[in-house]
Chain A
Amino acid sequence: SQQGEEDPQALSIQEGENATMNCSYKTSINNLQWYRQNSGRGLVHLILIRSNEREKHSGRLRVTLDTSKKSSSLLITASRAADTASYFCATDDINTGANSKLTFGKGITLSVRP
């Protein structure tokens, strides 16, 4: 069963705007990760946030984690056409270890219009 569920399923924005994507999960976790997938390619890791962290930044990316609500958000600021891709959140299971058995959501399709 899917652990992570992203929201919205699809997002279309204008270049330069910010994109916010949400992820909810069901069980207790050690870490939550976000990945990007360009069409026809493998997934690329974007950022990892640990369960004891609330916010993390990496370049134009900002991730928040609320373990009480079992939710995370990914913010991409000043979006570019090259950000057009699918984005996935992935969670581990606190019972199986820090990095094993990642469970992925169904993904969010982001389209950035030039």
Chain B
Amino acid sequence: NAGVTQTPKFQVLKTGQSMTLQCAQDMNHEYMSWYRQDPGMGLRLIHYSVGAGITDQGEVPNGYNVSRSTTEDFPLRLLSAAPSQTSVYFCASSYSPGVPGEQFFGPGTRLTVL
């Protein structure tokens, strides 16, 4: 199993540009989520999904959109990039939202917005 994969690993955008961060998992996990990690702030939840077709907002959803058309994929869209969105983005998945267990994290995407 590849686990949780994220692409790209690095990205530089100009203010106002849009892009999609890709996340995929091959473990048939129902629950997937996106976090951003900023220095001194820990990880903050952006959006999450408890299954295909179901998404919800986390702590810091503004400026981001998500969709979950399949169990495997959970892309994160930046609609109009701003310098405040410079961060490291992590995708994570776990078996089921109702079952306690570990979350598996991808390697991260380092995004810089100029």
Please tell me if the beta carbons of B97 and A99 are within 8 angstroms of each other in the complex: yes
Q: Could you tell me how many residues of chain A have their Cβ less than 8 Å away from some Cβ of chain B?
A: 28
Please tell me if the beta carbons of B97 and A41 are within 8 angstroms of each other in the complex: no
Number of A-B contacts (CB under 8 A): 70
* Those of A26-57 within 8 Å (CB) of chain B: 30-31, 33, 40-45, 48, 50
Please tell me if the beta carbons of B58 and A31 are within 8 angstroms of each other in the complex: no
Please tell me if the beta carbons of A99 and B42 are within 8 angstroms of each other in the complex: no
Question: In this complex, what residue of B is CB-closest to A9?
Answer: B40
B22 adjacent to chain A (CB < 8 Å): no
Q: In the bound complex, how far is the Cα of B31 from the Cα of A97, in angstroms?
A: 12
Q: Inside 8 A of B107's CB, which chain A residues have their CB?
A: 41-42
Q: In the bound complex, how far is the Cα of B92 from the Cα of A99, in angstroms?
A: 12
B2 adjacent to chain A (CB < 8 Å): no
Q: In the bound complex, how far is the Cα of B50 from the Cα of A103, in angstroms?
A: 16
Q: Inside 8 A of B106's CB, which chain A residues have their CB?
A: 42
A88 adjacent to chain B (CB < 8 Å): yes
Q: What are 27 residue pairs bridging A and B, where the CB atoms are less than 8 Å apart in the complex? A: A1-B59, A30-B100, A31-B100, A33-B103, A40-B108, A43-B92, A45-B102, A45-B103, A48-B101, A88-B42, A92-B100, A97-B98, A98-B98, A98-B100, A99-B31, A99-B94, A99-B95, A99-B97, A99-B99, A100-B48, A101-B45, A101-B58, A103-B59, A104-B35, A104-B42, A105-B42, A106-B42
Other 9 A-B pairs with CB < 8 A, given A92-B100, A99-B96, A104-B42: A43-B103, A43-B105, A44-B105, A90-B103, A97-B98, A100-B48, A100-B50, A101-B48, A107-B42
Q: Which residues of A contact B (CB under 8 A)?
A: 1-2, 4, 30-31, 33, 40-45, 48, 50, 88, 90, 92, 97-107
